[in-house]
Amino acid sequence: MTETRTDVLSPRVREVTKVIREFDRAEMLELLNVLLQQLKGGGEERDSHLRQQALAIRERLLEQARYEAHPPLADDTPFLAGLTWGEYMALSEEEQEHIWNAQFTMDIDDFEEHDVRPDAYIPARQKHRS
């Protein structure tokens, strides 16, 4: 987290900044959402500019959180059908589709049939077959 220049802040904001420095990323996002709600509806041009800046910061923080939670695969990461991620991504779309379908396409014969009583309960959105 970048350091905030406290010499340009009002005394009240300086005090709040001391507390914010202890926040984790999730708490900062919560606070940013609260700030955005407080800025909403302010018709002044300056408020609109601040709101746009806050929205941009929130988007960067969310993107960084998504990246940290799900970093991209390295090229040498084992992926599918004995290929690494890099090898798979180097294939044409048609080759990728062929390999994907070979791994995940299921035939109707892959499913096991079960006998069911005619008066069995059928969950919503499933049709009763006679």
50 C-beta neighbours (distance < 10 Å), count: 15
45 pLDDT above the threshold of 70: no
1 pLDDT above the threshold of 50: no
115 pLDDT above the threshold of 90: no
Task: Decide: 128 and 122 in contact? Cβ < 8 Å.
Answer: yes
CA triple 43-5-54, angle to 5 deg: 30
**What's the token pair of residue 16?**
């709040």
Q: What is the mean pLDDT of residues 8-35?
A: 84
Write the pLDDT tens digit of every residue in 19-30.
888 888 888 888
Question: For the chain, first and last CA: distance in Å?
Answer: 64
Alpha carbons within 13 A on the beta-carbon side of 13:
8
Q: Where are the domains of the chain?
A: 6-69, 78-107
Alpha carbons within 13 A on the beta-carbon side of 7:
0
Q: Where are the alpha helices (DSSP H) in the chain?
A: 11-20, 25-39, 45-69, 85-90, 93-104
Q: Where does residue 88 rank: exposed (0-12), middle (13-18), buried (19+ CB within 10 A)?
A: buried
Q: What is the CA radius of gyration of the chain?
A: 27
Mean pLDDT value across the chain: 81
